[in-house]
């Protein structure tokens, strides 16, 4: 059940929909990590989200219209998908990443995607959002170079360098 918002302020409305730490990280893992199942989200979260917190945040994100939940039936995994509202958070994630690059200490493998999004700007964000629409909403797949592959390759390249140095 959705609560009545504290105010009609657009920033308040956004914070109430997705602004707590765990909800943003769940959305991040879905957007950038391609995770769509509870177990993937639980195991792949670097910050160590607890299963009860994850379950609560997934319920909340579905209730707020940022995710859909496809229950495939008894004994089958539930699939979570981003909605258009959630996909349109890509520029917000890019802005948060840019801020983090400038004002917080980050690790190279985890900062590379933020750097690419910052350098690629709105053109890269739009391409990435189109790819997310294809995966999560069933829109036609975009043609041309894949933004998702560019982000994944950059991360893999830096991770491989880090491993070779260790």
How large is the average pLDDT for residues 97-117? Answer: 89
Same domain as 126, residue 57:
no
Statement to judge: residues 103 and 76 lie in one domain:
no
**Averaged confidence pLDDT in the chain:** 89
Quick one: pLDDT at residue 11? 80
Task: Specify whether 93 is located in the same domain as 159.
Answer: yes
Mean predicted confidence (pLDDT) in 141-155: 84
| 51 and 99 fall within a common domain | no
What pLDDT sits at residue 2?
Answer: 57
User: Looking at residues 95-118, what average pLDDT do you find?
Assistant: 89
| Tokens 């607890």, located at residue | 50
pLDDT tens digits, one per residue of 2-41? 567 677 788 887 877 777 889 999 999 999 999 999 999 9
State which of 51, 82, 113 marks the end of a domain.
82
Last residue of a domain, one of 50, 82, 114: 82
* Contact present, 136 and 119 (Cβ < 8 Å): no
- Does the pLDDT of residue 159 top 80, yes or no? no
pLDDT tens, residue by residue, 117-142: 999 999 999 999 999 999 999 999 88
Q: Does any domain span residue 32? A: yes
Asked if residue 138 and residue 92 are part of one domain, the reply reads yes
Q: Report the pLDDT averaged over residues 97-121.
A: 89
Range of the domain at 75: 10-82
Q: How confident is the model at residue 113 (pLDDT cuts 50, 70, 90)?
A: confident
The answer to whether residues 116 and 132 belong to one domain is yes
Q: Is residue 5 domain-resident?
A: no
Say if residue 92 is in the same domain as residue 160: yes
Residue range 80-101: mean pLDDT, rounded: 95
**Domain check: are 100 and 50 in the same one?**
no
Residue 101 sits in the same domain as residue 155: yes
Is residue 16 situated within a structural domain?
yes
Cα separation, 134 vs 130, in Å, equals 6
* Within-domain flag for 35: yes
Last residue of a domain, one of 82, 115, 131: 82
Please count the CA atoms within 13 angstroms of the CA of 4 that sit on its side-chain side.
1
Task: Please state, in angstroms and as integers, the Cα–Cα distance from residue 95 to each residue in 62, 80, 109, following that order.
Answer: 24, 25, 18
CA distances from 94 to 121, 126, 135 (A): 8, 12, 20
Q: pTM for this structure?
A: 0.84
Domain total of the chain: 2
Mean pLDDT of 58-81: 91
Query: Does a structural domain hold residue 1?
Result: no
Q: Which long-range contacts (CB under 8 A, 24 or more apart) does 163-166 make?
A: none
d(CA 81, CA 34): 10
Q: Residue 133 in contact with residue 139, Cβ under 8 Å?
A: yes
Beta strands in the chain (DSSP E): 67-71, 78-82
Q: Are 64 and 105 in a shared domain?
A: no
């Amino acid at each position: 059940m959705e609560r009545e918002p504290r105010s009609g302020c657009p920033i308040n409305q956004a914070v109430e929909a997705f602004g707590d730490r765990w909800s943003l990280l769940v959305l991040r893992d879905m957007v950038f990590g391609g995770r769509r199942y509870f177990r993937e989200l639980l195991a792949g979260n670097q910050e160590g989200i607890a299963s009860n917190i994850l379950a609560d945040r997934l319920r909340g994100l579905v209730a707020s219209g940022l995710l859909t939940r496809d229950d495939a039936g008894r004994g089958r995994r539930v699939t979570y998908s981003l909605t258009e509202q959630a996909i349109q958070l890509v520029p917000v994630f890019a802005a948060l990443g840019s801020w983090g690059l400038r004002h917080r200490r980050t690790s190279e493998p985890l900062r590379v995607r933020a750097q690419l999004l910052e350098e690629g700007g709105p053109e890269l964000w739009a391409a990435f959002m189109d790819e997310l629409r294809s995966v999560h909403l069933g829109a036609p797949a975009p043609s041309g170079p894949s933004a998702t592959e560019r982000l994944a390759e950059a991360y893999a390249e830096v991770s491989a360098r880090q491993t070779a140095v260790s």
